[in-house]
Structure 1
Amino acid sequence: MNRRASLPGAAELFRSTGPTEERWFDRSQSGSQHAVTTPRRGTPRQKHTAKITVYVSDDELLALEHARLILRGTHGLAVDRGRVVREAVAVVLADLEERGEDSVLVRRLRHDTGK
């Protein structure tokens, strides 16, 4: 009798679990970026190819964690903080593309900079 646990191999651990590719920009013409009409969405939990570091205040982190707990407790959505942030970024960027000057992002940034 073998007492060792059977573990998955690297191919199983790192397999693609979502759509293979969702491009938001098309760089095919003269190297410039042209927006693709695919609706902007945050990516689900998967292995991501790029990483950024964002510093937040204690209050912002607490609010993010509170939102995650509300999503889980009230709405039955078990998501991590990264997923919440990716969805929030997707929503804000879609609003910027759609509304431009009247977008929430432009208005808030203008308010913060006093312009």
Structure 2
Amino acid sequence: MKITIDVDDSLEQDYITIHCKELTDDILELQKSLVSKSVGSLRISAFQDDVEHFLELKTIIFMESDGNYILIHTSQDIYKTRRKLDENCFDSHFSLLHHCEWYR
């Protein structure tokens, strides 16, 4: 594999292009790794009062299940999504904790 980095100060934003002979599992893993490093740019859709919002992952404090929904808590508001907590989008950015209750 050959890696080339070109610095161009005229660019408005950074971008990465992967040139490959064929799309292999290694290339897909590389893509996933690069995407996970840019958590600030990753967004998920969630709803509040029937209005769709696109939330940056870095703004999410925690998520919790509530029936058929996942409640997404930010410092400003609470949003709902039907997305599952185990979807790949969350894997490298959040830890899944299971709620335990103790009864006497």
Decide which structure has greater helix share. Answer: 1
- TM-score, with length taken from structure 1: 0.29
> Is the radius of gyration larger for structure 1 or structure 2?
1
- TM-score, with length taken from structure 2: 0.31
Bigger relative CO (Cα 8 Å, ≥ 6 apart): 1
Decide which structure has greater strand share. Answer: 2
